[in-house]
A and B are shown apart, each in its own frame.
Chain A
Amino acid sequence: MTGHSTYVPKSALARWFESRLPIMGLVHSSFIAYPTPKNLNYWWTFGGIASFMLAAQIVTGVVLAMHYTPEVTMAFDSVEKIMRDVNFGWLMRYAHANGASMFFVAVYIHIFRSLYYGSYKAPREVLWILGVIIFLLMMATAFMGYVLPWGQMSFWGAKVITSLFSAIPFVGDAITIWLWGGYSVDNPTLNRFYSLHYLLPFMIAGVVVLHVWALHVSGQNNPTGVEVKSVPKDTVPFTPYATVKDAFGMVCFFILFAWFVFYVPGILGDADNYIRANPLVTPAHIVPEWYFLPFYAILRAIPSKLGGVIAMFSSIAIFLFLPWLDTSRVRSARYRPVFKIFFWVFVATGIGLGYLGSQPPEGGFVIAARILTAYYFLHLLVIIPLLGLFERPRPLPASIADSVLASRASVGARVAAE
């Protein structure tokens, strides 16, 4: 979307540079003049928050990497040395460990925002698919990062997840041995995970650039789901409007982040990870980090190993096809009364699966996980396609400006009536 982007270099040097590499013009049109729908709510801040968290992970990670030793007899101690002897090492380590969680909090909210307001629909399908790819890369990065401190949960988590590949028919065992770099999770595994854990965040950063590029082609969606009709009436320039609003939202998020880092830095982690990895002692419960729990529940809900693996990977892969599974032309749940209910049921299903993923796979927990897994796929594969055909949406406002004025008027009328 091209709006009031008209960067004029002010000095001779800037003019000289701009005619050779128009990067200031790019920054200007992306973050200064970029037209933002004026009705965005705070759910739209989470994209910015997620980008910030990626940067924070890279900064804290690079510092940790200066002190960390990827070798099975030294990894645990090197992390403890960071906590004890490196100046502000405890801060770097806790900010990195909790930062991963906060990154996922932000990204989950960002994803559910897109689901609620239909941001994945045309013309934003590529933008959405890039987002799903970022999510997959994040999961791989966080999984490998968790292996690095080489505690019990690091080791056994790595063992359980890499062993999943052995379910692949015929070549499974060969693939698993290839992934491990040997006949079990050991030093070569730790070394390659460290290498990839350092690499993947930069690949994520690359995909984020594509994601933002795609965003700037189609423009932002907004709570009405109605496209911008008139730039002057429906939008405001990014700076100062979105900048200051996002800054406020971000600082509020930092308060939550700081709460975890400074006051309860261990509460999201597993106590077992403060026990050195021991291939001979299996922990009573092998539980992944909270952000993997819904998928872990789906994995364990299916009675066959291969089936579980397929279900787990497809539970995420389906999202790649969501723009075409959703048959409704209306984007925002605001105007889709039935979709809105199913949306919240789906959110609850996700949370329920997360809870079940944290529980031992026995008795009622297994039955519930099976029902919720079935419902998860039912929602995406059956309910979403059918709803678009049968649901009668509410009338859409003619434009963003109209919807803003209408809600103003109804507030005004209510105030007047009182």
Chain B
Amino acid sequence: MPLLKSAGLSAAAIFGGVLITATVLAQQPPHAPANEVNSDGHNDPVPPRQAWSFAGPFGKFDQAQLQRGFKIYREVCSNCHSMELVAFRNLADPGGPGFSEGQVKALAADYKVKDGPNESGEMFERPGRPSDHIPWNFPNDNAARAANGGALPPDMSVLAKARGFSRGFPWFIIDAFIQYQEKGADYIVGILNGYKDPPPPSVQLQPGQYYNEYMPGHRLAMPKPLNDGQVDYPDGTPTTVQQYSKDIAAFLSWTAEPKLEERKRTGLRVMVFLILFAGLLYYTKKKVWAEVVH
């Protein structure tokens, strides 16, 4: 009997040992010198966590910040990146940047949109309408590649949800409970602030590649898009890369998750209801079972 029991306990101990050894071994891949690129980005630094107005259970977007972010998108990023899933009218939706209908109409009319064919069978250009999706600078992917040294700038609509990073064990469990769901935004801020020129000597770059701290593999085909003072802020907000990057990342978080405010608001009501309901059921259950010995 005690023999079997100690067999069980040793199985437990061996199991623990295996896991710990494996984790330690795997943290240091044998043939990747520090700082060198490895295929899966094990040693990549984790972008610092930022404070976001839209984080947490009561989070809401900061309208002024979304409007500044849109300005950066329009003046800088849209030169290369598309925004296929967002229509002009969305800019006036509740829970968004809060442009007025008039502003959206005027804004849309600033863009040329391809339409047609008309009665004579010709395609033509017309001023944009609020229902149009934001058009792209390039007619197709290959044109964008050709202008960017062969690299395709990804569509930005859901970019903030399409990027992330691993914080490793045990954070991937803890993050669910501390509601750390803004990794995409932190990553974008990281990328925009992560350029280093010249790169560390251990990294060889091809022409058209730039060194970036936070890019997995550190090689990025996007030249540093933002510099201090590049975009005007009429409201006196500091015109620094740090500020720009937070504003554009907030804007991209909204384009990726336009129903975030509605979701969190609904969530609060559901939670309050469920907790009250659980409380009532708990006392009902106690009452019902009171005279049963169990």
B259 near A84 with CB under 8 A, answer yes
User: Which listed residue (A91, A265, A266, A337) contacts B5, Cβ 8 A?
Assistant: A337
Q: Please give, as numbers and ranges, the residues of chain B lying within 8 Å of A272 by CB-CB distance.
A: 162
Q: Please give, as numbers and ranges, the residues of chain B lying within 8 Å of A367 by CB-CB distance.
A: 22, 25
Complex Cα distance, B11 from A263, in Å, reads 39
With contacts A84-B258, A365-B26 known, is A342 near B267, CB below 8 A? Answer: no
B162 nearest CB neighbor, chain A only: A274
Complex Cα distance, B25 from A363, in Å, reads 7
B277 near A372 with CB under 8 A, answer no
Interface residue count on the B side (C-beta < 8 Å)? 66
With contacts A341-B9, A372-B18 known, is A284 near B26, CB below 8 A? Answer: no
B19 beta carbon closer than 8 Å to chain A? yes
Chain A nearest Cβ from B39, distance in angstroms: 7
B157 nearest CB neighbor, chain A only: A80
- Decide if the interface of chain A is mainly helix, strand, loop or mixed: helix
B15 near A375 with CB under 8 A, answer yes
Q: Please give, as numbers and ranges, the residues of chain A lying within 8 Å of B42 by CB-CB distance.
A: 360
User: Which listed residue (B1, B9, B176) contacts A260, Cβ 8 A?
Assistant: B176
- CB 8 Å contact bits of B50-84 with A (1 = contact, 0 = none): 00000001000000000000000000000000000
For residues 160 through 188 of chain B, which have their beta carbon under 8 Å from a beta carbon of chain A? 161-164, 169, 175-176, 179, 181, 183-184
A365 near B22 with CB under 8 A, answer yes
B274 beta carbon closer than 8 Å to chain A? yes
Q: Please give, as numbers and ranges, the residues of chain A lying within 8 Å of B183 by CB-CB distance.
A: 271
Q: Please give, as numbers and ranges, the residues of chain B lying within 8 Å of A245 by CB-CB distance.
A: 285, 289
B21 beta carbon closer than 8 Å to chain A? yes
B161 near A271 with CB under 8 A, answer yes
A136 beta carbon closer than 8 Å to chain B? no
- CB 8 Å contact bits of A368-388 with B (1 = contact, 0 = none): 100110010000000000010
B293 beta carbon closer than 8 Å to chain A? yes
A255 beta carbon closer than 8 Å to chain B? yes
A362 beta carbon closer than 8 Å to chain B? yes
Contact residue range for chain A? 35 or more
B15 near A372 with CB under 8 A, answer yes
Q: Please give, as numbers and ranges, the residues of chain A lying within 8 Å of B282 by CB-CB distance.
A: 248
B117 beta carbon closer than 8 Å to chain A? no
A244 near B12 with CB under 8 A, answer no
User: Which listed residue (B216, B270, B281, B285) contacts A262, Cβ 8 A?
Assistant: B270
Q: Please give, as numbers and ranges, the residues of chain A lying within 8 Å of B258 by CB-CB distance.
A: 84
B270 near A364 with CB under 8 A, answer no
Chain B nearest Cβ from A230, distance in angstroms: 14
With contacts A262-B270, A271-B184, A284-B41 known, is A338 near B12, CB below 8 A? Answer: no
Q: Please give, as numbers and ranges, the residues of chain B lying within 8 Å of A254 by CB-CB distance.
A: 274
With contacts A248-B281, A404-B294 known, is A338 near B266, CB below 8 A? Answer: no
Complex Cα distance, B26 from A368, in Å, reads 10
Name which of A16-24, A109-117, A343-351 contacts chain B: A343-351
B28 nearest CB neighbor, chain A only: A363
B85 near A84 with CB under 8 A, answer yes
User: Which listed residue (B15, B18, B162, B285) contacts A248, Cβ 8 A?
Assistant: B285
Chain B nearest Cβ from A298, distance in angstroms: 15
For residues 1 through 54 of chain B, which have their beta carbon under 8 Å from a beta carbon of chain A? 1, 4-5, 7-9, 11-12, 15-16, 18-19, 21-26, 29-30, 39-42
A262 near B157 with CB under 8 A, answer no
Q: Please give, as numbers and ranges, the residues of chain A lying within 8 Å of B169 by CB-CB distance.
A: 355
With contacts A274-B162, A348-B12, A363-B25 known, is A38 near B292, CB below 8 A? Answer: yes
A401 nearest CB neighbor, chain B only: B293
Q: Please give, as numbers and ranges, the residues of chain B lying within 8 Å of A265 by CB-CB distance.
A: 181, 263
A244 near B285 with CB under 8 A, answer yes
What are 20 pairs between A and B in contact, CB < 8 Å?
Answer: A80-B85, A84-B85, A91-B266, A94-B263, A236-B294, A255-B271, A260-B176, A265-B181, A267-B175, A271-B163, A285-B40, A338-B5, A341-B8, A344-B12, A345-B11, A345-B12, A363-B30, A391-B1, A404-B293, A404-B294
Other A-B contacts than A255-B275, A263-B264, A405-B293, 11 sampled, CB-CB below 8 A, are A84-B85, A90-B259, A236-B294, A263-B267, A274-B162, A275-B162, A284-B40, A341-B11, A362-B26, A368-B22, A408-B293
A-binding residues in B (CB < 8 A): 1, 4-5, 7-9, 11-12, 15-16, 18-19, 21-26, 29-30, 39-42, 57, 85, 90, 154, 157-158, 161-164, 169, 175-176, 179, 181, 183-184, 216, 256, 258-259, 262-264, 266-268, 270-271, 274-275, 277-278, 281-282, 284-285, 288-289, 292-294
